[in-house]
Every structure is written in C-alpha cells, then in structure tokens.
Homo-oligomer: A and B are copies of this chain.
C-alpha cells in the first residue's frame, strides 16, 4: 500500500477541491464575517507564506492567543500545513503560567486577538523567544502597542501568496499542534499533537457512532479553540466540508442562542457549564433551536437534569463524550446500543449520562489498586487509555511523563466503574475521591444528585479531614436564582438519603455564591479544599 502520510494539509486540500462553496461564519468584534472555503484556503495559504517570510521554519512553534474566529481557523491550518507547530494558548491562564508555557514551548511568533493585547503587553519583557507579534484585528489600524515588531494580520495577509504551496514531504509523526493542560497544581504540562493524531481523531469525529459529523452539518464551536483544538471539530469540519459557525470574542448565552437560531446550527459542543447557562437563558428569552440535532457535551460530569431538560423541552439529544488534553480529547462516547433502545426513559438517561465506551481506535481499561481489570459495575478503579491520539509524554517533563505513562498506557487519574456492557462511568478524580473509613465515596455522584435538585444551581463536594473516618464529605451549594425554594441542610440530607447509603451523606452543607472554577470552567475543588482546610465540622448535623 502507498506510504501516503496522514497530514493536515490534505484536509485543507479536500475542502478546497470539493467544498469551495461551503461557508465559514465568524462573529468578530465588529460584526459577522462570512466567507467560503475557497476564500478560507486562499487566506490560509497566504498566512503560511507570510509566516515563512517572517522566518518560521519546520518544527517551530507558533502561538495563538485568541478566541474562536475565522482568523484562528486559518492559523489552525496554515501553521501545521507548513510543518510548524500550532501552539494554542489558553487566554485565561495567569500571567505566570502564560510566561511559563510561551517560554517552555519557545514560541517564535504569537498571533494575538486585538482585545487580548494588554495581557501579552504586560509580560512581553519575559518572552525572549518571541520574534514577532501578529494582531488579529477587525480595525483598520492597530492601537498603540509597545510590542515589537508587531504586524496587522489583515495587512500582512495582503502581502501573502494565496497560491502558496505546502511542503510535500511532511511526515505524519511530525508535531503539528500543542496544548498545555490547565493545571490546578504546579505548572501546566504541554502535550504535543502530531499530524497523525489529529487526522485520525478527525476521522473518528465523522463516525456514525461518535459525532457523525457530516458535510450537511452546521457546526458551532463553543469549546474554546485554545482548549484541546476545540475538541478537534475545526479540523474535522474543514475535512468534511461542514459549515462552521465561530462565536467570536466574549460571547454570552444570548450570542449562542442567536447563532443557533439564525445560522440553523445542527451540532455544537461544550462543557456542561455552557449548557446549564444556555438553559437559564432559554428561561428568559426564546430562541428557535429546532435545527439542533445534537449537543456534544464533555469536560466534566453531565448532570442528568440537563439531559432531561434539553430532551423534554427542546427534543435535543446529548452526545456525551469523555477525554482530556492528553487524549486529543475524545476517548469515549456514550451512545445507546441498538438493543438498549427498549430500556425505559429513565434508564436511557442514566445510561447516556455515563461516559460510554471507547471510540474506534482507542482502548481503555479500568484497574483497581491491585492492577485487576474491573467490569462489575461497582468497584472503582483508575481509567487507563491508549491509542494513536493519546499522548505518550509531557513536553520537557520526563518525571511527570513517568508518573502518567506506564507500560504503554496513560494513567488518567480519573476514577470510574465499568458495567457489564463495558460502559465506563467516571466517579471522580483520584485526588477528589473521599476515603471514609477505608471505603471510597464519589464526590461526583453526590454533586450530580444535588444538581438534579430544582433549588440548586451548582454543587461541589470535597473531603475534609476527620479524626475517626480519616475523610468525610462536605457539600458546597449554590442556590438556583430562578427557583423560589429556599432549601435547607435538613431537606438536602433527606433528599440524598433517598439515593445513597447513610455513610455517603455529607457531614455538612455550606451555601456559597459561586463555586470557584478553572480557566476552562471546571470546578476548582482545590481552591475549596484550601479555603476550608481548617474547617471544623458544624455541630448542627
């Protein structure tokens, strides 16, 4: 068979040749930009040519510091197609972490959204490797900036070659992309994606049993493009000729509702926080969501109440997926098997709210502390993953690599059960598990149960030290703003007692205004643990 390489430039060429008329719709700070894949390909080739002119060479890292828009999409294809490495930088990181990762990656050039310039300006003295700054701008002229040398993206593109030819000797195992995990402790860890990993992951997104992404879809990318390649959707969408909707900078839930309605979005993806927020927005304003065939959800546990609300009120099914930066990210998808269609409605919701089975190409096993493979639906163990889009290392971090990758498997740090269908259900992060009297309690199970309560908007459960039981659960509750119920600790105890063994029930319920979150919207339980480390158990319970 031919030694044809799985490289990202071939994805672009397919869109160019067969989907030239299909559109990219991009919200910018000044309006909406619409153009065709023919235009997209020309601008992408022009970008590659100017980057080459600025000195970007094979293997160089080029950073992007930007929201989801068409210019970012151009960078997604120009940089890897020329043999350089697309380093998408999380715009929500602390300046310390930003300095760390830009220097760790040795980004040669940074592409920056104009609105995000002040952040980069504030750290520019500490970025010795950066040779040039290019500003994604919707304005005619750049604002005054002390970055040097600095270029206006659009003016630079005018000097580029729309027929620029990519190298024909790219190998699929060359690095193509890079993303750092949003670390809750220590420095972020870099993951290098290859052409091969991105192309195979893209193909997987088109499978009927995963996302079924198709030419006929209109896909809105809500997951930030600085976060694990927006879960891979931009790459797959170009390859399949899918219409793309990019919600631009600082979008809010109204923007999302408007875009779904006006652009007739058929599929979109994001973390549960987004869909909880959109649901609240839908309580206030009305949008026509009838075009939506699926919402892809992942990143953290999907509360069953959310599944139910979208299904019952709007007839929109969720596709629940599981993964992380290290897994490109999609490793499992939760879909009913054909013989499960006969289950009753509640059983189906329960099933879909699990994380599902490995997608084709990925292998998973869940092992207990003795290394035994689990599948009895009850015992909890750590999730191990392997496959061609799973990382085998952290960039420049041999020690952290050795901790996470053993015997060819990635140890995810996620704790799960596996039922007889092979379905995994993530019950916690290793570090979030509560070990009470030698038995494990899943903080995630308690949180999901609490968030299904109509008076509760968010809930986080952490362990606090306990003299007798070593650790005990404590719940943090954010009350719903739309509900009138003024729920009490006692009511919540009774509520949970219907579903859990007595020893699982939290020792206390603490009402707060907001759960602290990470830069990608996940609960930052570490912060809660830190704030409440000297907490003394309430006497009232």
Contact = CB atoms under 8 A, between A and B. Distances in A.
Contacts of A21: 339
Contacts of A13: 363
Contact of A4 (B337, B357, B388, B422): B388
Task: Categorize the interface residue count of chain A.
Answer: 35 or more
A27 to B, nearest CB: 22
B361 A203 contact: yes
A296 to B, nearest CB: 14
A388 B1 CA distance: 6
Contacts of A192: 1
Copies per complex of this chain: 2
B421 A338 contact: no
A2 B206 contact: no
A440 B282 CA distance: 62
B3 A392 contact: yes
Interface in A314-350: 328, 335, 337-339
Given A212-B212, A421-B18, A2 B386 contact: yes
B4 A338 contact: no
A386 B4 contact: yes
A504 B207 CA distance: 44
A247 to B, nearest CB: 21
A521 interface: no
A208 B203 contact: no
Interface stretch (A102-110, A129-137, A213-221): A213-221
A239 B358 CA distance: 11
Interface in A69-115: none
A212 B214 CA distance: 10
A57 interface: no
A392 to B, nearest CB: 4
A203 to B, nearest CB: 5
Contacts of A339: 21-22
A1 B358 contact: no
A422 B17 contact: yes
A453 to B, nearest CB: 34
A363 B10 contact: yes
Interface string A1-26: 11110100010011001110110000
Contact of A6 (B193, B194, B388, B391): B388
Contact of A208 (B2, B207, B390): B207
A392 B204 contact: no
A249 interface: no
Contacts of A361: 6, 203
A335 B216 CA distance: 11
Contacts of A193: 1
B206 A1 contact: no
Given A17-B422, A363-B10, A4 B387 contact: yes
A209 B14 contact: no
Interface in A1-57: 1-4, 6, 10, 13-14, 17-19, 21-22
**What are the 5 closest A-B residue pairs judged by CB atoms, nearest first?**
A208-B214, A1-B197, A216-B338, A206-B207, A208-B212
17 contacts: A1-B173, A1-B193, A1-B194, A1-B197, A1-B389, A1-B391, A2-B386, A2-B387, A2-B388, A2-B392, A6-B361, A6-B388, A14-B358, A203-B360, A208-B213, A208-B240, A240-B360
Given A1-B193, A18-B421, A239-B360, 9 more contacts: A1-B389, A2-B388, A17-B357, A19-B337, A203-B361, A209-B215, A212-B212, A215-B338, A216-B338
